[in-house]
Amino acid sequence: MTARPSSTLANQSPWRLRRKYFLRASSARWALIILAVFFFTGWLAPWLANDQPWYIQLNGEHYYPAFSTQKVYTTPEGEVLRLAETDWKRLKFESVIWAPIPYAPGKTDRWNGYLNAPYKGPFDAQYFQHPAAGKQALSWRFRHWLGTGRNGEDVLSGVIHGTRSSMGIALGAMLMATLVGLLLGSLAGFYGDNRFRWSRGILLGVALGAFGGFFLVFGRKAWHWSSAEAMENETNWGWGLLSFLLLLILGGVFGKASEKLGRWWIAPVRLPLDASMLRLLEVFHAVPHFVLVIALAALIVTPNWWSLVLVLGITSWTNIARLVRAELFRVRELDYLEAARSLGLSNGQLLWRHALPNAISPSIVAIAFGVGSIILLESGLSFLGIGLPPDQVSWGQLIRSGQNDFSAWWLVVFPGLALLFTVLAFNWIGEAMRDAFDPRTLPGSKRVTETTEEEVIQDIQS
C-alpha cells in the first residue's frame, strides 16, 4: 500500500493554499453561511412564501397548487379556481398544507391593512374576518411575522421574494461584467499597444464585415433606432447579433484568403488595443456609476430582470478590466511565459492557459466586492422607483414604501437588514480573499512585486 503523500508545501497548489487561508478567517466562514441562506431563500422563494397551498384535498381530489404550472382548476362542482386570483384562505378543503409563509408578496390582505387600518406592525394584533363568527384574532400560523404594508402586503414574503430579485440580478449582472471585463482587460493587458497585429487583408475583411453587419442590423432598418421603443419592440436582437458575428467572421475568412493576393495584403498592421481600451475605460469611469445607471435605466421602456442585468452589467466591468490589465502587464514579462512562448505556443494558448490563471486573483476579489455594490445599486434604483416594475417585489421597493409613513418602521428595518447582511457578507468575502491572495501571506512564496503604489504609478503613466 502506497503512502498518501503528506501535505507538504511542495505539493500544495496555490489555489488550495488560498482556499485554506480564506477559510481560516472567521468572517469568511460566516459570510459563506449567510450567503448560502440568502441564496437558497431566494432560490426557493416561490415555494417558501406563497399564498397557494403546497397541497390541497378537494372533494377527494389531490392538488399541488404551489408546485403546479397549471393555472386554472375546475372542481367537480364546476367551480373554477384561478391560481393568481383565488383567495385560497376563504376556501374549505378536506385537508390542506400551506406554504411556510402563506402569503404571496404584494397581495392585499384587507383585514390587516387596506383602507381602515393600514400598516400592521409585527407586534400589533392581527385579525381576520370569519364568515360566520365575524372579526377574530389571527392564528399564529397565518400571522404576518414582520408586519404588513399599507394594503396588508406581507413584509416577510416581500423580503423573501426580494432576495430572489436582488441575488438574481446582482449575480447575472456580475457574470456579464466579469465576461466583458476579463475579455477587454486581458486583450489590453496581454497584447498591449504593440503585440496585436493583423495583416491588412484580415483587417480590411473584418472592417468590411463589421460595416456590413452594422448595416444589416441598424442601417437597413434605420427607423428602428429612432427611439428606444422601436429598438425594444421591433429589433430582433438575437438574430441581429448572430448575423453581425457571422458577417464579422466571414469578413475575417475572406481577409485571410486575400493574403494570397500579394505582398500588400500581408503587411501587418498594429492595433493599439491597450490605448483604445483605456480610453473606453476613462469614458465609463468619468461618469459617476449611479448617474450612469439611472441615465441608462431611463432608456428602458418596460424594465424587467434582463434589462436591469444588462444596464448594471455593462456599467460594472471597468474594475475587473483594469485589474486584469494591470496584472497581465506584470505577468507577461515573467520568465515562465517567455519559456512557454519559446515552446511555440500560440498567443491564445499563452493568454488563456498560462498568463490569465496567474493574473486573475485580484479580479476575483473585485468580483466579490462588485456583487455587493451591484446589489446596492439595484436596490437604490428600486428605491427611486426606476428599477423593477411595481408588481415585482424588491428590497429597495419595500424601503421606498416605508418612506410614505414613518411609523411603519418594519418596512425599512427588515429589508434594510437583509440588504445590510448581504452586502456585508460579500464585503467580508472580498476582504478574506484579498488577504488570502496576498502573496505575502503565502509561506514559501517570494513576493513578486512591490506593493500597490507601483501599480498606481503604472496606471497614471498610461
Residues lying near other proteins in the complex (CB under 8 A) are found at 211-212, 214-215, 218-232, 234, 279, 282-283, 285-292, 294-299, 301, 372, 376, 379-380, 383-386, 396, 399, 402-403, 406-407, 409, 412-413, 416, 419-420, 423-424, 427-428, 431, 451, 453, 456-457, 460-461
Query: What angle, 0 to 180 degrees and rounded to 10, lies between the N-to-C axes of helices 155-191 and 305-315?
Result: 40
Q: Among all chains, which residue has been given the C-alpha cell 397541497?
A: 55
Cα(148)–Cα(106) distance, rounded to whole angstroms? Answer: 10
Residue with Cβ nearer other proteins (182 or 375): 375
10 Å CB burial of residue 186 (0-12, 13-18, 19+) is: buried
Cβ of residue 291: shortest distance to other proteins, in angstroms? 5
Residue with Cβ nearer other proteins (354 or 434): 434
| Number of neighbours of residue 188 by Cβ within 10 angstroms | 28
Cβ of residue 220: shortest distance to other proteins, in angstroms? 5
Residue with Cβ nearer other proteins (168 or 416): 416
Cβ of residue 175: shortest distance to other proteins, in angstroms? 22
Cβ of residue 432: shortest distance to other proteins, in angstroms? 12
Cβ of residue 286: shortest distance to other proteins, in angstroms? 4
Residue with Cβ nearer other proteins (125 or 222): 222
Residue with Cβ nearer other proteins (140 or 223): 223
- Residue 128 β-bridge partners: 136
Residue with Cβ nearer other proteins (139 or 407): 407
- Name the grid cell of 100: 411556510
Cβ of residue 237: shortest distance to other proteins, in angstroms? 15
